[in-house]
Amino acid sequence: MPAGHEIYFLKDGTIPAQRQMLVDTGIAIGLPRGTYGRLAARSGMGSKHGIAVGGGVIDADYTSEVKVLLPNYGNISYELKAGDRIAQLIVAKIQTHDAMEINKLEDTERGTQGFGSSNITPKRLITCEELKVKMCFLNPDPRDNSYFDEEDIHTHASLQDEVTMLSSPMIAAIQMQTMDYSFLDRIRAAGKEDDTGTAYKGEFSQLEQKRETQPKHWELEDGLLYYKGRVCIPSKEELLTEITKGCHDSNIAGHFRQEKPIELIKSNFHWGKLSEWINDYGQ
């Protein structure tokens, strides 16, 4: 899933080499309190054409039109077409406490040493001890899982608030979100045999070559077709059954105040007559 929201170019234009352009987006945004918006560059534009994004901070109380500053560090002019993706809008939390004036800062090992001082010879020794895990908070990306030992359970700040325990359907949803490469490869392979998916991909390729606007809500990335951010699954019974089984086979699936399988699947996948397929599976 993309980290940010796509920002699109409104009309055709040119950024001269070694110059910059302030681009209108035609949109204004409202951000939740305690957050800010950050405009980030697209890696393809930066690595291939030298196009960066400047002036990227948007305060939560700013409600006028969002504009994007695009410096061109390349040696040739860059042509932009209406509908081109030019930046990503990332919404992040911030600390908004008032600053306090004090007479002295805490002493640190680095102190006032400046540039290059973090690369000095290490002065600390690293010690290791066995961690007896008592609790684990699962995340869609296993690398973001949080592990807590017995002492953490009583003292860690993130455990002081009310904790919602994971239900079996929620865990199944996480497992569906952490699809391994072999499963994605199977989706790609099945897509090559699916007439509808092949037609969509051909249309995307033609529009991209012509630098024309892509169909709304649809996106082609790394050989996979997405609709509203959800992976499109080809009409292959083996794949559909595997996905449905992963979110349906639970003793509490669909019970009162528990996530229903159809909601779990719809948040990650898309295919024709999805609801009918899931209902037939559960009968």
pLDDT higher at 41 or 55: 41
Is 270 in contact with 227 (CB distance < 8 Å)? yes
Whole-number Å distance between alpha carbons of 31 and 45: 27
Residue 249 has pLDDT above 60, yes or no: no
Whole-number Å distance between alpha carbons of 159 and 114: 37
Residue 176's closest CA among 263, 254, 246? 246
pLDDT at 100: 82
**% of the chain at pLDDT higher than 90:** 17
Q: Which domains does the chain have, with CATH numbers?
A: 5-93 (2.70.40.10), 129-162 (no CATH), 169-282 (no CATH)
Out of 97-101, 167-171, 212-216, pick the least confident. 167-171
Q: Are strands 133-137 and 67-71 parallel, antiparallel or unpaired?
A: unpaired
pLDDT at 79: 92
Of the pLDDT bands very low, low, confident and very high (cuts 50, 70, 90), residue 250 is: very low
Amino acid at 45: M
Instruction: Tell me the average pLDDT across 228-248.
Output: 79
Tell me the average pLDDT of the chain: 76
Site of tokens 């040493």: 113
Out of 81-95, 133-147, 194-208, pick the least confident. 133-147
Per-residue pLDDT reduced to its tens digit, 191-226: 888 887 788 778 877 887 877 787 788 888 888 888
Residue 19 has pLDDT above 90, yes or no: yes
Whole-number Å distance between alpha carbons of 203 and 215: 9
pTM over 0.85: no
